[in-house]
Structures are given as structure tokens and as C-alpha cells.
Amino acid sequence: MQRKQQLMMGCLLVSMFLTYHTLQGQEPAKEQPNQTEAKPSRLTIGGYGEAVYTRNFYSDNMFRYSHASSYTDAQGHGRIDLPHVVINLGYDFGKGWSMGSEIEFEHGGAEVAVEIEAEETGEFEHEMERGGEVALEQFWIQKSFGKGLNLRMGHLVVPVGLSFNDPAPTEIYTCYRPEGEFTILPCTWHETGISLWGKLGNWRYEAMVIPALNSNMFNNANWVKNGSASAYEFRVANHLAGVLRIDNYSVKNLHLGVSGYVGNCFNNDIVTNEFSETSPYKEVKGTVVIGTAEFDYKADGLVLRGNFDYGYLSEANLISSWNKNQNHQSFSPYPRSQVGEKALAYGAEAAYDVFRPVKGINRQKLYVFGRYDYYDSYIPSALTLTDYQWTDRHVMTLGLNYYPTDQIVIKAEYAKRFLKEQYNDEPSFSIGVAYSGFFER
């Protein structure tokens, strides 16, 4: 028995000796990757939203400009609004292909319902419970050939103006978007088209082809703002337009941007008109030209911004005459209004984070800001006799923005529109709350 145990012990020692020398001649085993390690998600989910309460200390009556003296002591009114609630979805398919989409609910969306009235012999009634809009603002497919060249096709945000660069409410200090640009241009402007864009060093460019605006939707209060709207289930595209934007980031903390738009807008509707050789409208094109410039500087808690927007409409007097003389049905979406030959908007803004010098705040921010805007949505041509002087406005805004985190902001502001002396100025106070961020990326 003892001999047997000695033999087994010897075999075990030989086995261990051989195993040791075998392992000595081999490379050490490589560490196996963690099979449960999370990979970056191809899906992107994000969005933003804002809620605002405003007290207007002036009358919002439709005759407040034509009969201004009757509304000098108006008490005003309060309003609660959901300017924008947006959901973003994106996906990376791989091999340079990706998609993006954005659904926006403006002013709470549109609540429409059919109800049956028990007290009215059980008849069905169509009820409009709340105004507002639901819009698909983006839906595109993109092929990226590299950082300097990307092809994007589908429904796109049009890169014209300051609001294109900072659309999220956490990037804007006022409760609503800058008033001048928001009044005369579509905002946020979105169209179905095709875009080429890329980044080359400190430069970014984007060139786009989209449907042109529709002059039937122009008016004196908003110039061409509503020209991108369509009452149909499709967008009329008898004419196409071009857009170009260039941004520069060469100087640290400073962004400079310029953009432009050009397109013919007359006769760009579902009904096209054939004019006789003697008709004054025979050669009307209604060319819209828009140019914008802006800057944005951010450093050490200080933010400085400015923008300039200028627009020109050819044959504005003939387009005004055409719009006003159309015999549209009462439910027509067209305003039948005159439109200015030119429109202008510019503004400047300064903000400072007063929490920045304070230690121990832990990422909280409190910006004190002031903004000035000037805009005129109706600058008539020399051939137009009608002048709406109430469209000429200056706006001063003072307020606070408190950020408990980078993705949430609480706002408060006092604003006042200064009109020409024959009209009543329009002061208001607003408070709001907003968020913006990505929840999966």
C-alpha cells in the first residue's frame, strides 16, 4: 500500500514538471473581453420643451392700431403658452448612413374631437378644444462621405438666421425666440429638400435646394414668414429656391455666421395662372432675397450676441395688388394683405452668469441679461401709397435665467415694445421653464 502511494506521488510530480515546462514555452493567455460591456447606442433620443406665462399690459384687440386712442388705458390680459415641445429621434445605420427626425408640438398642439351632444337630440358636433400645431420639422436620411462632405435628403431645417444656430430654449435667454427675426422670417423654417454640408477646419458650410415661398401667404405684419406654410397635404413646388450658409470658428469662443436665400415666389400655388401679353402680372416673378449675419461670443460667464436680417421682394406693389384683389372663398388660408418691398430686423444681447465668481455653487448658473431688437415687417416700395407705421418697432428686454443644471432653465423677463408716438407702447412680463437634452445617445 505504501509503495502504491509512492508510485502515485511520483507520477504526480512528473506530470507537474512537464506541465510547467510546457507553459514556459507558450505566450500567456490573452485577457478575454467582457462580453457584457455596453456598446455605444446607435439610437439617439432627445428633445426640448418650454412653458411660459405672460401678462400683457396692453390690449390685444385687432383695432388697437387703427383706433389706438380707444385702447390707451386697456387693462391687458394674461396668457399661458407651450411654445414648443419637441421630440428628436435619430439612428446610425452604419457605413456612413444615418437618419434624424423631429416632431414638434407648438402651443400645445391641436386638440380636435367629435362629440355627441345629449341635449341637442344626440347630434354629432365637431369641437376645436385647443389651437396650436403639430409639425414634422425634420425627417432626413444622410450619407456621410467624411467630415467635409455630407449629403442630407428629406425634410430639413433651413439654415437661415440666428434661430437656426440656437433653436433650443436653454440656449435662448428670452422666453420666446428673438422677436425681430421671429416676426419676419419662418421660424423654425423647415422644408423638404436636399442639402450638402460639411466642416473644413474652422469653417462649416451648407448649401440647400428647397421649394420657394408662396407669395399668396405674405402680409404686412409678418412679411414672408407665412410663405413656407401650406394648407394642403403637400407643399407646392412650382419654383425652387437656393440657400447658402457659412459659419466660422477661427477665433476662440467666437462664432460668426452668414446665410442667404433666393427664390421666385409669385404663382407658386396649387392654381397657376396664365396671363395675357397685356396683363401687368405677365412678367412678375416676385424674387425674394434674404441675407443674414450674426455673431456669438461666450467666455468666462459672459455671452454676447447680435444678428442682422434684411429682405427684399421684387414687384412687391403688384404682388400686393394681386393678393388684395383675389376673390377667395371665406375659408381661404390667404390673408389678402399688402406686403412690403423690404423688411429689416436686427438685435443685440448681453448676458453674464453672476454665480460664476461664487465658489461652491456646483454647476448652477444665474444669468442676468438685456436684449434690444429693432424690426420693421413692412417697408413699402415707392409705388405703394399705403404705409403701416405700426410695423416699425423697438423692443427692450431685461431678465434672469436660472440654471439648476445645464439642461433646465427657469426664466423671468420684462419686455416693452416702443411704437411710433401715435400708437400705444406694449409692455409685458413673462416667466417660463424649459428643458433640453438627450436621453439616449
CA distances from 227 to 15, 20, 217 (A): 88, 83, 5
**pLDDT score for 116:** 55
Sign of CA dihedral 355, 299, 397, 428: negative
Q: Is residue 305 part of a domain?
A: yes
Determine the straight-line distance between the first and last CA of the chain, rounded to whole angstroms: 70
C-alpha cell at 403: 440654471
Q: Is residue 410 part of a domain?
A: yes
Q: Is residue 136 part of a domain?
A: no
Q: Is residue 98 part of a domain?
A: no
Q: Is residue 71 part of a domain?
A: no
Q: Is residue 69 part of a domain?
A: no
CATH number of the domain bearing residue 244: 2.40.160.10
**pLDDT score for 202:** 97
**pLDDT score for 37:** 55
**pLDDT score for 214:** 94
Q: How does pLDDT run along the chain (441 residues), one tens digit per residue? A: 444 444 444 444 444 444 444 444 444 444 444 555 556 789 999 999 999 999 999 998 889 998 999 999 888 999 999 999 999 999 999 999 999 999 999 888 776 665 555 554 556 555 656 677 788 899 999 999 999 999 999 999 999 998 877 678 999 999 999 899 999 999 889 999 999 999 999 999 999 999 999 999 999 999 999 999 887 888 889 999 999 999 999 999 999 999 999 999 999 988 778 888 889 998 999 999 999 999 999 999 999 999 999 999 999 999 999 988 876 555 667 888 899 999 999 999 999 999 999 887 778 999 999 999 999 999 998 887 788 999 999 999 999 999 999 999 999 999 999 999 999 999 999 999 999 998 876
Question: How far apart are the C-alpha atoms of 185 and 294, rounded to whole Å?
Answer: 15
**pLDDT score for 231:** 78
Question: How far apart are the C-alpha atoms of 237 and 268, rounded to whole Å?
Answer: 7
Number of structural domains (the chain) is: 1
Question: How far apart are the C-alpha atoms of 352 and 350, rounded to whole Å?
Answer: 7
Cell 425681430: give the residue.
Answer: 180
Q: Is residue 31 part of a domain?
A: no
Those residues with Cβ within 8 angstroms of residue 138's Cβ, 6 or more apart along the chain or in another chain: 88, 100, 101, 102, 154, 155, 156, 157, 190
Domain region containing 156: 148-429
C-alpha cell at 122: 344626440
Q: Is residue 11 part of a domain?
A: no
